[in-house]
Chains A and B, each alone.
Chain A
């Protein structure tokens, strides 16, 4: 019957770990799901394009159009499936064949190009799968861009301007995993910190434990810290395992400074914890905590982070919405550092936004933490 006297804080943290590891689903969500997510998003849900079937409508049939078609067909991304010769044919093409993209040249293309005239290329994609369509047009644009680059070096001054995206520049092989790793990282940290913390506090309320904890000499800050420290530890474990998987399984190199990545992640962890605390102050049951963190936090991260669906192809409202999501700032910063290898000065804007959000949310959630029930 002789037992040691534990400090309230350590004893509380120990109790939290008991809760986590004694519930099978909690431990699965916290330790197995992040790994499954990175593998799933990294391998299965890939937005990479390889040998996409395209069709060409080329009324000009001149040196320039042949060169461009050559460039498209020799790339590993596209296979020229067919040539079309009339507008009517084009209409049926998407329906009848498995065509992803039609490249349409204007008439007298080379002539117009050389004489500063109106040389145009139209890319027609199948919008029923907007994500795939967007990716195809991006790839095609990139290839057209490089054709343009080559011609500039030959002292041509072609009138067509094609945008290329930064993503392509720093992801030369156009691997989907480059985009996925920061996204999954943001999602997992959000899941563990915000969702699991809010659920675990809601659980104390639901089972009436909070009442007893409040009627004890524990300070609110001790309760908050004890509830969050285990999730910080688990977040760091997951951060490490995702990084290792990214490098060794998905072959995504960490170009930038790993310490900087860890620092940004730590700020984001605190931010997410504050969000979780905030949610737990307004809910009373675990199920509501889960729904709120799922709908308010997880969905937007999945949908608006650009991980699966390009934000650029969404409405203005969603683009603004994407801007206020903490996870997007985090993912953007991680992309810059991890994939592009940029330093701290390049992510200063993201860091400032994340730190201010974190400080604000922590302040609100500690202030809102109730020392009484109701």
Chain B
């Protein structure tokens, strides 16, 4: 459905996209996961034909995004990251407008948006600008869907949306998938990765890895530990100074670490660390071997910090 070969895009001095290649199959939910500024929006704009790439080739359903942009625009739905509806038009008027510019009517594809739109209906006379963040995104999704596109581009649809609405939006995407709609969605919420069929982890304009979420997690070949104590801030510094530390980062309420490879058993490793931290007067120590999440994979791939990522705990 989507074929991207070696796409590059530069803004002044920033390499927004570097040698991006991507294949998305029909009927798939493909997630692009990465922190703000990693190039997700640029990629979405190129694929939705509103931006030209410097190099490379991209095709949607066999149509070239540069040459055949006119045909493509009849078949895709695009929901930009910014709230892009008319604030001074009511919920109903917005939907009506987008239905008509796609030469369709609300009722002909109503079944597609029904579940979400029912929640909006009590407010249908309200101006879009007066809606809450979650409601705005639901309306924007309805507007992007009303012409029943074959392919849906959703650029950070859940940013700034409450957890309940986020879940509803993802349920909606799942149902669209069952209708045969291919979905390319970007997010900076790591926990949403698991809801995609396949994901690509993106950072500084590059894809670090692209695979199914379970394959990515299975590829993680290091021993991961979760650590906590009564003094979490001090703990992170002390972990940093631990002679055998390899990677360390705050992960919600815990710190996640990996250690340099050696021949010691897990029990020994745990015991050594416990001893080291106890000497530094940490109390209520908790050290446990855990299974890696997508975010841990991301950390391992970047070897850096994930402060621009929205971790599982940040929004709850």
Contacts and interface: CB of A to CB of B under 8 A. Distances in A.
Interface of A: 1-8, 10-12, 15, 18-19, 22-23, 207-209, 211-218, 371-374
A217 B71 CA distance: 8
B105 A3 contact: yes
29 contacts: A3-B107, A7-B100, A8-B101, A10-B100, A11-B96, A11-B97, A12-B97, A15-B89, A15-B93, A18-B86, A18-B88, A207-B82, A207-B84, A208-B82, A212-B78, A212-B79, A212-B143, A213-B101, A214-B50, A215-B48, A215-B50, A215-B76, A215-B78, A216-B73, A216-B98, A217-B101, A372-B50, A373-B50, A373-B51
B73 A217 contact: yes
A217 B98 CA distance: 11
Contacts of B311: none
Contacts of B87: 207
Given A209-B85, A214-B49, 20 more contacts: A1-B110, A3-B107, A5-B105, A8-B103, A11-B96, A11-B97, A12-B101, A18-B88, A23-B88, A207-B82, A207-B87, A208-B80, A211-B45, A211-B78, A212-B78, A215-B48, A215-B50, A215-B73, A215-B76, A374-B51
A3 B101 CA distance: 15
A6 B96 contact: yes
B100 A215 contact: no
Contacts of B50: 211, 214-215, 372-373
B42 to A, nearest CB: 11
Q: Say what secondary structure dominates the interface of chain A.
A: loop
B83 interface: yes
A7 B101 CA distance: 7
B104 A5 contact: yes
A4 B102 CA distance: 14
Contacts of A11: 96-97, 100-101
A65 to B, nearest CB: 70
B106 interface: yes
B84 A211 contact: yes
Nearest to B127: A22
B181 to A, nearest CB: 16
Contacts of B254: none
B52 interface: yes
The size class of the interface chain B forms with chain A is 35 or more
Contacts of B123: none
Contacts of B89: 15, 18
Nearest to A211: B80
A10 B76 CA distance: 23
Interface in B45-65: 45, 48-52
A208 B101 contact: no
Contacts of A374: 51
B25 interface: no
A372 B49 contact: yes
A366 B141 CA distance: 31
A15 B101 CA distance: 11
B105 to A, nearest CB: 4
A143 to B, nearest CB: 58
Contacts of B178: none
Nearest to A212: B84
A20 to B, nearest CB: 10
B197 to A, nearest CB: 24
B110 A209 contact: no
Most chain A Cβ neighbours within 10 Å, of B49, B70, B86, B93: B86
A214 B78 CA distance: 10
Contacts of A1: 106-107, 110
B74 interface: yes
The 10 closest A-B CB pairs, nearest first, are: A11-B100, A208-B82, A208-B84, A215-B78, A5-B105, A6-B100, A22-B88, A8-B101, A217-B74, A212-B84
Contacts of B83: 207-208
Contacts of A4: 105
B102 A216 contact: yes
Nearest to A223: B101
B73 A3 contact: no
A218 B84 contact: no
Nearest to A216: B101
Nearest to A217: B74
B51 A15 contact: no
Contacts of A217: 70, 73-74, 101-103
B73 A19 contact: no
Contacts of A10: 100
Nearest to B124: A1
Nearest to B143: A212
Nearest to A19: B88
A95 to B, nearest CB: 57
Nearest to B81: A208
Contacts of A208: 80, 82-84
Contact of A215 (B49, B86, B88): B49
Given A1-B106, A208-B84, A218 B93 contact: no
B244 interface: no
B69 interface: yes
A263 to B, nearest CB: 33
A374 B76 CA distance: 21
A206 to B, nearest CB: 10
Contacts of A2: 107
Contacts of B79: 212
A371 B69 CA distance: 9
Nearest to A22: B88
Contacts of B143: 212
